[in-house]
Structure 1
């Protein structure tokens, strides 16, 4: 019996996007809602041919949230399968800069929540782990 060839993983990148809380205490995290999946997650997407993970993460945050951002600490890479194919998503904690959200077919809502509320809203357990890692890096 022969083993099937290993499939090349889908490569993607994203960010756990944060900003100082408007109250002046702590931080708020950006979560996006994708109507296609009816889920809440961190901004992320597939890398284009020849695109670095960093460039992809910056582009995806801008496309999905309307915000530019500054990449901070690298977070754990998420590995899972999509339709039987392996997927690897490289993540960073990233501070939100300027810009404004505009709903699209891909992302129809953006919310800014304190860590506890954001953690409860996230759909996937792996996204909660990323949030925890990002919050841990923001403590000085």
Structure 2
């Protein structure tokens, strides 16, 4: 997994002469248990004590297949971090920033939770299901907040 602080190593790099870290993730949603609206899942990473959307670096095989690798990586990271099985939806924003001195590009998709259950793990010790407004307030990084609006827009046009 990678996050705001990133990780070093070759995994996620696009090539020997390129220092770009490629990652993928999802804004996972479900219908609210109350029947009113939707909820989004946020993950808490104990290493950074932050709240974000599930995401992580592409493996070498995912990075080698640009047509489907990012989608596979996004679903894999959601499953690893949250235990959720999801149906991938519309592509959302691509975030670019510097983490640990390296440029990072994270592609996001909307993803509807279809099943599974969270088990705390080394990378993620808690998940929260929150309304879009509560998720926007809880996210640790300003750059993640526009993803909430991107998801809502994608769901309105679906």
Q: TM-score, normalised by structure 2?
A: 0.83
Asked if residue 43 in structure 1 is aligned to residue 43 in structure 2, the reply is no
Where 1:8 maps in the other structure, the secondary structure is strand
Where 2:34 maps in the other structure, the secondary structure is coil
Asked if residue 14 in structure 1 is aligned to residue 25 in structure 2, the reply is yes
Asked if residue 125 in structure 1 is aligned to residue 136 in structure 2, the reply is no
Q: Distance in 2 between matches of 1:112 and 1:139?
A: 20
Which residue pairs with 1:83 in the alignment? 100
Report how far residue 84 of structure 1 moved: 1.2
Q: How does 1:1-140 map to 2 (within 5 A)?
A: 7-51=18-62, 52-140=69-157
Report how far residue 69 of structure 1 moved: 0.3
Report how far residue 130 of structure 1 moved: 0.9
Q: TM-score, normalised by structure 1?
A: 0.93
Q: Distance in 2 between matches of 1:117 and 1:89?
A: 23
Aligned length: 135
After TM superposition, the runs of 4+ consecutive aligned structure 1 residues lying more than 3 A away are none
Report how far residue 137 of structure 1 moved: 1.2
Which residue pairs with 1:3 in the alignment? none
Which residue pairs with 2:10 in the alignment? none
Larger CA deviation: 51-60 vs 6-15:
6-15
Where 1:139 maps in the other structure, the secondary structure is helix
Cα deviation, 1:1-36, whole Å, max 9, x if unaligned, reads: xxxxx7431000000000001111110000000010
Where 2:33 maps in the other structure, the secondary structure is coil
* Unmatched runs of 5 consecutive residues or more in structure 2: 1-16, 63-68
* Unmatched runs of 5 consecutive residues or more in structure 1: 1-5
